[in-house]
Structure 1
Amino acid sequence: MNGSIPTSLGRLTELTKLQLFHNSWKGLLSQNHLQGLAKLRVFSVSSDTTSIFYVTHEWVPPFSLLAIQISNYMLGPKFPTWLRNQKELSSIVLTNVSISDTIPDWFWKLSMQIDILDLSHNQLVGVVPNSSGISFVDLSFNCLEGTIPLWPNVMFLFLNNNLFSGAIPSTIGSVMSSLVVLNLSGNSLNGTIPLSIFKLKVLTGLFLSDNHLSGQIPIHLEDLRALGSVDLSQNNLSGHVPESMCSLSFLYWLSLSGNNLSGELSWLKNCRSLYTLDLGDNKFSGNIPGWLGENLSLLSKLRMRANLFTGDIPQQLCHLSDLHILDLAHNYFTGSIPRCLGNLSGFNHFTSSNTAFPFPFAFPSQLIYIHQMDLVVKGRQFGYTITLELVNVIDLSSNNLSGEIPEEIANLSDLGTLNLSRNQLTGKIPKKIGELRWLETLDLSSNHLSGSIPSTMSSLTSLSHLNLSYNNLSGSIPSTNQFQTFNDPSIYEGNPELCGLPLSTKCSIATNVDAKDKDGKKKVDNKEDEYDEFWFYLSTGVGFIVGFWVVCGTLVLKRSWRRAYFRYLDEVKDRLFAVIAVNVAHFQRTT
């Protein structure tokens, strides 16, 4: 629904629920819309356009609400004082409403009766008290500061993306023993991960990323029996990952990227329930063991970017049928690209793994969207959250891979990003690469590829980022379809034998790049044309001879057929003369 909300709603004096959420309202919503709703108990409104909720500072609502939900309305900048009169509230959701104030003391006195509090995506400032009876708290994406509060009754605590500092309280596990989800990401926390966290027996999600935590990952993880998601990325953690990490039977998401962790991957052997594994930007070393593709058969996202891995890319990775993100860039892998990667069926359909928490919650939907993975797409790094399941990426760049690009890659019909740059690849660009209908990013730069740019690449209509620089490519650059949009010469630089726009080097002879190029393809095409022309004339001559003698030969050899044929011609001639004579006589009579 769109347009403005009519003030006549205020005449519905018997109304108890007014739910206007998830619409496209415009204009002003004021106290006049609500003034007559004395029996109102539940109120919700949101808009995807710029809208204003205006009430005077002195306004006293005529109703007593149980639940209120306002999102994407300009309610601030002051904290709404009219909530002070709502003595029965159990659920308060005021997200993205432009409040840039401190949370007043009187509000925390109300909190003893509140079960759900969501004030996320505002500009709230100040500190929060150290006691509250709320079970679900979301204060994320604000400017709150101070130390992490200890709230004994809280089950879901989202304090991520604020300015909290200091160490995580050492007693957090004993004081907040009911925690199901703890999200402290995106703050300025320091110190080590307290051992008391491992007393949280019902914890399903632990998110401590983007802080300044140091030290090692604690050893005794096996006590966290319900833990499904662990994100410790972008900290200063060091040492080896404890073997107990994979004793967590529900663990499906593990992100340890952006730390100083080291060692080999033997600890991964029993992580059989993992859907997502992100070990990027660390100091892990050794080979990727072949059993990873067999034991971790549920993997759909594998990111090991920027480590110290060596050896070949194991063929067993091709057993990961749900895999749709494979990022092994910036390592020291050698050997060839496995041809069996073309069998990864996860790149042939948009997957949607069940990455929600393993228990059903009657709480706001952002619970399932807190996962994030950083991927390099179109030459830039992006953080993907909600759309992560729709991203299909193969990135093997900056290794020592050799050999040719396998044609089987073209079987991955829904592949969105293919980055094989900065390797030692040779041979030609596969002609079948034009079958990658959804390919948006193709980077083959800084290799030793030769030959022409296949004309089939003109059919990559989704392609928006291309880099073929610093190879040994030759011939004319295609000029049709998508190639008309690639006007940056740096895409092709470092290929001295390439010619045509957007390069300044003009091709010496105008050629149809879809059929000819400088590396000998022209001669092959000419021979094929001569061959086809020869067979055309030969078949025409043979056909004429056969047709002529099938008809005329029988008339020469068989007298009865010859007489019948000429008798038939005489009858046709006589009938034709008769028709002409009748028509001439008829014409003369009428004139």
Structure 2
Amino acid sequence: MCHVINLVNLIFKKYETLTQPLEWHHSYKRESDATHSAAFFPPKIPVPFFPPKIPVPPSGPRKQHNFVSRLRFIATLVYGSKRLIPSSYALVVSATGLTSAVRGGTRNSVGVVCDNLTGNVKEFHLQNPLTDCTNYADCDAYVRSRLGGKVNPTLLKLKQLSHFDLSNNDFRGIPIPSFISSFGSLRYLNLSYAGFGGVIPHQLGNLSSLRYLDLPGDFEGLVPHQQGNLSSLCYLKHRGGFVENLQWLNGHSLLKHVDLSYVNLTKASNWLQVTNMLPSLVVLRLSGCGLVHFPALPVVNFTSLATLDLSFNSFQSSILDWLFISLNGLDTLNLQFCGFHGPIPSGLRNMTVLRNLVLSYNSFSSTIPDWLYSFSHLEYLDLSFCDFQSVIASAIGNLTSVAMLDFSFNKLVGKLPRPFENLCNLKEIVLSGTSIGGSVSEVFNIFSKCILGGLKTLDLSGTRLSGNFHDATQQLTQSKNMAALVLSSCLLFNYIPVSLEGLSTLQYLDINNNSLSGHIPASLGELSSLKYLDFADNNFSGPVPESLGQLAKLEVFWMSGNSLQGVISEVHFANLTRLREFSCTENHLVLQVDPTWVPQFHLDMLTLGSGQLGPKFPPWLCSQKNLAVLDISNNGISDVIPNWFWNLSSKVYFLNLSRNHFYGEIVDMPLVFSISTIVDLSPNHFRGRLPHVS
């Protein structure tokens, strides 16, 4: 039987009574969260809700997991040896009367695993169950699901605890409790992105049985050298703090995975010599460590190394041939943003088993070497922002295994070579910001052989492709998995084909800044997966279809800079409950809604400049508490600004009420403006003194 413990008091020592729910924190930092755990490769689509491409997170989306709701209401698991029920169960009684059970030897919904024979608690799996933060709704759910509070030393009664996971929660910067070092049986400790801070306790070096240590967080100070005592360690991951010498890693013969990314290693001049002597090392990640040079190695011993990530350092040199000649067993190499210059050295040509290669954001200032096209195992190739020149060679047709190809923002010219059609495994193509030209129909013909069927992302924005958008996109109906189609700032004309509705999986559609015309087809309302829609800065005319109000997943909607006409009513927003950005400036639209209308969405950005909102101030704006950008300029509003308006948001950094007919006095603005905030109230008919601004 599992020993019964007071789980709420035990793990989360709160100031509240047990009848109150656990404290859920709503602070949110975009640079943290679970995305870090899988962020070896950066997202390529410039939209916040698209996740990193690879590696795929270990679990799929779980948007409404009931783990948190159950844990939140747990009231008792009272510690003791008394046998409460005659089986290998421990009773979990919640404050709501809900009961569930913990089976011996298995993980239950609360995250507790007990020993089959003794009933002792062996494992706590209290990580945030929501690991995906791929859109606004998921991010909100993720934040609400984070646990917080203080970790109670009563946990020390669990003498057999071998697995402790509190990852992806929010403990508000409190230090890691030093008493954790007393868990003599602990083999797995994961406190990654749990919101712990301060200095890493040196007592963790006492965990002699530990095999897995994951401590990414906002840590400071010296990474304790006592971790060198953890001789059984196989997996080591840190974030934050600094290291003056990596000598303490010597002798870790079992270490297979070392990730010290964003630990300051500027003083650890022996980083390469030490890691070179780890005989079992398979993964080495030293991203963002402040490394500036490669120390000389008499012998390269990275015989087991499969993954090397040195991204976001400042080597400011050419890539060293002597090092990479010996790394011919590498599976993954990430040298993004390393300050390398000069041509790619020929030493890399020995890495014929490479599957993932990232060289983006360096200055190679050369052509893409022909030998790179012979890497038949390559699946992920990112050469973006590398200052490559010339054309894409026909030999690219040899990369038959490649699934993600990014050549964006290079000085590539000419047309897409015909052998490109052989890349049948492609899932993502990003050629944005290049000078690749030719007919868009010709390009889509190349894709139509075998690529379109499996393609998920196609980004050709900012290229010199031109032609008839309607005719070219007819072939897109072959695609059954397309999630992102980005054709902005090309030279496309004609109108949107009705057949586009066949892209039922499309989440991201960006065709802004072309010469497209005609009416917006009502069939766009059939794209039920759409989250991002941008057809701004074209020549579209006619009314906005009411069917767009059925796009229940839509978060970003831009249609500014067209010649659209007619009325926009509540029907256009009927199911847009997730909408965060809406822009329809520079059209001929009238926003006509009932005075009592209360939108179901909560916008971060709203731009309605040069429309027709007036003559009264729109009362529905009082429901928009999250606005950071608001533009209702030149809307024929002739009214007094209501006092409630100035209490709308503390996030506003752009406010444009200009070119209306506002009158009366402006009250003191309680809004907290930063030095970069822009407020435009001209020209109107205000009177009185200038307001006091907080």
**Alignment partner of 1:231 is 2:459:** yes
217, 222, 235: which one pairs with 1:4?
A: 222
Give 1:27 deviation, angstroms: 4.3
Give yes or no for contact 2:277–2:301 (8 Å, CA) kept in 1. no
Give 1:337 deviation, angstroms: 2.1
Give yes or no for contact 1:432–1:456 (8 Å, CA) kept in 2. no
1:156-215: per-residue Cα shift (whole Å, max 9, x none)? 111112111111122312x10111111111222111222322221111111111111111
Equivalent position of 1:411 in the other structure: 599
Give 1:230 deviation, angstroms: 0.7
CA distance in 1, matches of 2:644, 2:674: 16
**Alignment partner of 1:19 is 2:236:** yes
436, 439, 443: which one pairs with 1:216?
A: 439
1:38-117 map, 5 Å: 38=253, 40-47=255-262, 52-55=267-270, 61-64=276-279, 65-78=281-294, 81=297, 84-117=300-333
CA distance in 2, matches of 1:484, 1:457: 15
Equivalent position of 1:285 in the other structure: 517
1:346-385: per-residue Cα shift (whole Å, max 9, x none)? 336xxxxxxxxxxxxxxxxxxxxxxxxxxxxxxxxxxxxx
**Alignment partner of 1:260 is 2:484:** no
CA distance in 2, matches of 1:209, 1:227: 16
Give yes or no for contact 1:433–1:456 (8 Å, CA) kept in 2. no
Change (3 A) 1:473 1:31: closer
Equivalent position of 1:341 in the other structure: 572
Give yes or no for contact 2:566–2:590 (8 Å, CA) kept in 1. yes
1:546-566: per-residue Cα shift (whole Å, max 9, x none)? xxxxxxxxxxxxxxxxxxxxx
Give 1:323 deviation, angstroms: 1.0
Calculate the TM-score normalised by the size of structure 1.
0.71
Give yes or no for contact 2:667–2:691 (8 Å, CA) kept in 1. no
Calculate the TM-score normalised by the size of structure 2.
0.61
CA RMSD of aligned residues (A): 2.9
* 3-state DSSP of counterpart to 1:433: helix
**Alignment partner of 1:184 is 2:407:** yes
Change (3 A) 1:343 1:479: farther
Amino acid in structure 1 at the alignment position of 2:589 = L
Give yes or no for contact 2:335–2:360 (8 Å, CA) kept in 1. yes
* 3-state DSSP of counterpart to 1:450: coil
352, 357, 377: which one pairs with 1:137?
A: 357
**Alignment partner of 1:442 is 2:670:** no
Q: Which runs of 5+ in 2 are unaligned?
A: 1-199, 201-218
More helix by share: 1
Change (3 A) 1:408 1:323: farther
- Higher radius of gyration, 1 or 2: 1
* 3-state DSSP of counterpart to 1:25: strand
Give 1:343 deviation, angstroms: 2.1
More deviation, 256-265/471-480: 471-480
CA distance in 1, matches of 2:491, 2:563: 18
**Alignment partner of 1:164 is 2:353:** no
CA distance in 1, matches of 2:407, 2:674: 44
CA distance in 1, matches of 2:427, 2:304: 31
Give 1:407 deviation, angstroms: 4.8
Give yes or no for contact 1:405–1:429 (8 Å, CA) kept in 2. no
Give yes or no for contact 1:126–1:143 (8 Å, CA) kept in 2. yes
Change (3 A) 1:258 1:79: farther
Equivalent position of 1:500 in the other structure: 688
CA distance in 2, matches of 1:411, 1:492: 26
Equivalent position of 2:588 in the other structure: 400
Change (3 A) 1:125 1:78: farther
CA distance in 1, matches of 2:628, 2:558: 16
Equivalent position of 1:274 in the other structure: 506
Q: How many residues align?
A: 455
418, 421, 425: which one pairs with 1:198?
A: 421
Give yes or no for contact 2:272–2:294 (8 Å, CA) kept in 1. no
1:385-432: per-residue Cα shift (whole Å, max 9, x none)? xxxxxxx10000011223646657741442111100023443212123
CA distance in 1, matches of 2:502, 2:300: 53
Give yes or no for contact 1:405–1:430 (8 Å, CA) kept in 2. no
Q: Which runs of 5+ in 1 are unaligned?
A: 349-391, 505-591
Change (3 A) 1:315 1:88: same
Give yes or no for contact 2:308–2:333 (8 Å, CA) kept in 1. yes
Give 1:226 deviation, angstroms: 1.2
**Alignment partner of 1:421 is 2:638:** no
1:422-475: per-residue Cα shift (whole Å, max 9, x none)? 234432121231111112211011221212212231230233321110012222
Equivalent position of 1:328 in the other structure: 559
* 3-state DSSP of counterpart to 1:210: coil
Change (3 A) 1:489 1:415: closer
